[in-house]
Amino acid sequence: MNSHAQGEQQVVWTVVASDIGPLLLAATDEGLVHVVFHATEPVRDRTLDRLASRLGTTPVEAPDAPQLAEAIRQFEAYFAGRRREFALPLDWSLISGFNRQVLRELASGVPYGSVVGYGDLARRVGQPGAAQAVGVAMGSNPLPVVVPCHRVVESDGGIGGFGGGLETKRKLLALEGVLPEPLF
């Protein structure tokens, strides 16, 4: 019997190629719920196990699922330089509290081609002095690229950290015109 028909949440996923390596995209009926960098088989397997545990249902590989179709199109357009912002329904269920507040501000208030400091983002959410907590929020972002944690940098001009790796952050910032393209 189809458990989705009984009212349980369905989670569908696929892996798409990108300029920064394979990305795992997962969605629920609410919207895109997770984006994972470097989606090799071991990373994919760990991610799917975590999603099953957190969301209470086994994710189903479904590259043609309607819940993923628009996300796939928008990611392709973004990496081709034809899209500057994502317009997707998002499922925020993997993040809550301060982290969700920070990520929502980041998603709505830091446009393509710009950056913000960790401290500046903390002030925007009414928590001056919480720059380190903003860094934690960036590290827990379940929707990177769409919720652009790559646009958060150190106030002294440093690139800062990044869960997808610094080379990935540099490539995303170069794509958006913030950094020059790497020479090699």
Q: What are the pLDDT digits (tens) for 64-104?
A: 999 999 999 999 999 999 999 999 999 999 999 999 999 99
Closest by CA position to 151, among listed 133, 165, 170, 123: 170
Nearest 10 degrees: CA dihedral of 94, 63, 69, 104?
A: 20
Q: How confident is the model at residue 3 (pLDDT cuts 50, 70, 90)?
A: very low
Is 34 one of the catalytic residues? Answer: no
> What pLDDT, on the 0 to 100 scale, is given for residue 85?
94
> What pLDDT, on the 0 to 100 scale, is given for residue 9?
79
Average pLDDT value over all residues in the chain:
92
> What pLDDT, on the 0 to 100 scale, is given for residue 1?
37
- What is the spatial distance between Cα 10 and Cα 29, in angstroms, rounded to a whole number? 7
Confirm if 68 and 62 have CB atoms less than 8 A apart: yes
Confirm if 165 and 37 have CB atoms less than 8 A apart: yes
Residue 5 has pLDDT above 90, yes or no: no
- What is the spatial distance between Cα 149 and Cα 167, in angstroms, rounded to a whole number? 14
Q: How confident is the model at residue 156 (pLDDT cuts 50, 70, 90)?
A: confident
Indicate the pairing of strand 60-61 with strand 12-16: parallel
> What pLDDT, on the 0 to 100 scale, is given for residue 155?
84
Residue 123 has pLDDT above 60, yes or no: yes
Question: Active-site residue among 11, 26, 130, 149?
Answer: 149
> What pLDDT, on the 0 to 100 scale, is given for residue 157?
81
Of all residues in the chain, the percent with pLDDT exceeding 70 is: 93
